[in-house]
Amino acid sequence: MKEARDKIQKYVENNELDIEKVMKEYNNYIYTIIYNSHITFHKEDIEEIIVDTYLTLWNNRQKLDINKNMSPYISGITKRLILKKCRNKRQIENIEDYSEKLISVQNIELDYLESQQNELITNELNKMKEEDREIFVEYYYEQRKIKEIAIILDLSESKVKSKLFRIRKRLYKILKKGGYGNNE
């Protein structure tokens, strides 16, 4: 009977959480959660998520209900850390990504038009709900598949698709209004 063996009470000795015992029993479980997220992480990132899971558990040990099961706590912490890691990854910029976009004399006009379009899009994205903005950024800038985005944001694939459709429609109207597009 797994439930009885999973009680937090099992991991408490002398009124203190035995984190080493938790680590021995839950390392594979945490790794499985990370693997099942279908997000590719470097080995160092996986190790960091695992360590941060135990650290978060330890820092919140006083809040644990010893009559509850340990696995939901571990699972919840791990999933939040996966999401946090995905958001942080997105913020890291690589100079090589921009090396091809250096302004050349021949493309000044095109660069100007592109920057104006980007400004319109950025302004509109800043007005959107955070979830919509994240979906757009994940899909168009991070080039993630709809399935990945659904997993990361804990949404259904159909919801991600419909939100992308509405976002594109909204941005198209803004660009058209700004003079970029078919004005028929």
> 184 pLDDT exceeds 90?
no
Closest CA to 51 of 59, 146, 162, 147: 59
pLDDT of 95 higher than 50: no
What digits encode the pLDDT tens for the residues 128-182?
Answer: 898 998 898 888 877 889 998 998 889 999 999 999 999 999 888 888 887 776 5
**CATH (residue range 2-91):** 1.10.1740
Long-range contacts, 144-150 (Cβ 8 Å, 24+): 147/38, 148/38, 148/39
Asked if 78 and 49 count as a contact pair (C-beta separation under 8 A), the reply is yes
Dihedral of CA 153/37/86/17: which sign? positive
The answer to which of 30-34, 115-119, 128-132, 178-182 has the lowest mean pLDDT is 178-182
> Where in the chain is CATH 1.10.1740?
2-91
Q: Could you give the CA distance from residue 59 to residue 29 in angstroms, rounded to a whole number? A: 20
Confidence band of 69 (pLDDT split at 50, 70, 90): confident
Structure confidence at residue 183 (pLDDT): 44
Question: Could you give the residue range(s) of every CATH 1.10.10.10 domain in the chain?
Answer: 96-177
Tokens (6 digits) for 65: 């209900």
Strand partners, 127: none
Its sign, for the CA torsion 12, 31, 160, 182, is: positive
Q: How far, in Å, are 86, 125, 135, 139, 160 from residue 145 at the CA level?
A: 14, 20, 10, 7, 10
Report the distance separating Cα 175 and Cα 123, nearest Å. 11
The matching CATH number, chosen from 3.40.50.300, 1.10.760.10, 1.10.10.10, 1.10.580.10, for 96-177 is: 1.10.10.10
Confidence of residue 51 (pLDDT cuts 50, 70, 90): very high
Q: Helix axis angle, 70-91 relative to 43-59, nearest 10°?
A: 130
pTM of this prediction exceeds 0.95:
no
